Amino acid sequence: MFFSSAALLAQAPNPSAPSIRVQVDQVNVGVIVTDQRGRFVEDLHREDFHVFDNNVEQPLAGFTSIDGPAQVLLLVESGPAVYLLEGSHLAAVSTLLNGLSSDDRIAMATYADTPHFIVDFTADKSVALASLNQLHFNLGSTNLNLSSTLASILDWLAPLQGKKTIVLLSTGVDTSSPEVIDTVFARIKLADIRIFTLSLSGSLRGSPPPTKRKNKDATPAPADTLFAEADAELRALAQSTGGRWYFPRTSAEFKTACAEIAQLVRHEYSLSFTPPAHDGAIHAIDVRISTPGAQLSTFRMDHRGAYLAPQ
């Protein structure tokens, strides 16, 4: 029985990932498979995976199970909205740093109008922890240029070899121009980077948003519309890169999300296939697994959904 990643994603709890890139004449597809508890599923084999290019199955040219060092950029929004965050929420990120392995490397940056790099990649987690405790939020800024910041981040990370992950702590509010947002999303879909997003707006909302409105014709409040748009952008950023998105409302939920991310940044299955066409076009990717007796809700898969074919 085949299980598609799209179907598995629909079955997965609301709260990555990996990369697809063309090297010589080969497309590499990183896939993260987790169980219902968010734990990486080990001991899957080559014959369990099936990769499709524009809905046509392709023979696998390579298969490996990777548990290797991670390179994680922690990108934190520093605008006025998150100034009101409880310190315990941001301090919970120490769970992520403490959960990383000794050879994983961490870098840190903040952003509001523009990105500010605080710590370059280092395996010394104590440096990152010290910088985390000294973050300052900007009360005077009115702009939160998330997309233009990501454009700069993509340029900065491009020369870096190996697996690259961005962990984005943000409200999701984006004051970048629509043109910049569209351009950055197009780049991100094809970039060799995975993004995990953690919303920082949960504690700013009070009670959870209602699932149904008593008056379906009622006009949403401006704050509701803003949060809905912000949540959609955070979800799209993660999903387009094969990452995951989280909307924690408490310190405990924040710690759980960070602990899960610390595990997932290291583990993936790497598949490869030869591109069937050299047309310079964007091709859709789907990965399916077939394991005897497995149920649809048993696994969740995350992988990038597209690649740019060579000319």
Are 62 and 75 members of one domain?
no
Are 59 and 175 members of one domain?
no
Are 60 and 84 members of one domain?
no
Are 134 and 31 members of one domain?
no
Q: Please, what sign has the CA dihedral across residues 166, 172, 175, 178?
A: positive
Q: Where are the beta strands (DSSP E) in 19-137?
A: 20-23, 26-34, 49-53, 56-58, 62-67, 71-77, 105-111, 115-122
**Tens digit of each residue's pLDDT, the chain (311 residues):** 444 444 444 343 333 334 444 444 788 888 888 888 778 888 889 999 999 999 999 999 999 887 778 899 999 888 766 655 556 566 677 888 888 888 899 999 989 888 989 899 999 988 888 887 776 665 555 688 999 999 999 999 988 887 789 999 988 989 999 999 999 998 888 877 889 999 987 766 554 544 444 444 545 456 667 778 899 999 999 988 888 999 988 888 888 898 889 888 888 888 999 999 999 898 989 999 887 655 555 788 888 888 888 88
Are 289 and 204 members of one domain?
no
pLDDT digit string, tens, across residues 63-111: 988 777 889 999 988 876 665 555 656 667 788 888 888 889 999 998 9
- Cβ(106)–Cβ(131) under 8 Å? no
Domain range enclosing 161: 71-210+219-264
Largest CA distance in the chain: 58
pTM: 0.77
Among 199, 107, 182, residue whose Cα is nearest residue 147: 182
pLDDT digit string, tens, across residues 143-172: 889 999 999 999 999 888 877 899 999 889
Using the 3D structure, point to which of 247, 264, 281 is the last residue of a domain: 264
The CATH code of the domain that includes 168 is 3.40.50.410
The total number of structural domains in the chain stands at: 2
Among 52, 153, 165, residue whose Cα is nearest residue 104: 165
Are 89 and 16 members of one domain?
no
Are 96 and 196 members of one domain?
yes
The CATH code of the domain that includes 20 is 2.60.40
Are 27 and 169 members of one domain?
no
Are 292 and 254 members of one domain?
no
Please count the other Cβ atoms lying within 10 Å of the Cβ belonging to residue 115.
19
- Cβ(153)–Cβ(166) under 8 Å? yes
Are 97 and 192 members of one domain?
yes
Are 161 and 242 members of one domain?
yes
Are 165 and 242 members of one domain?
yes
Among 194, 168, 155, residue whose Cα is nearest residue 17: 194
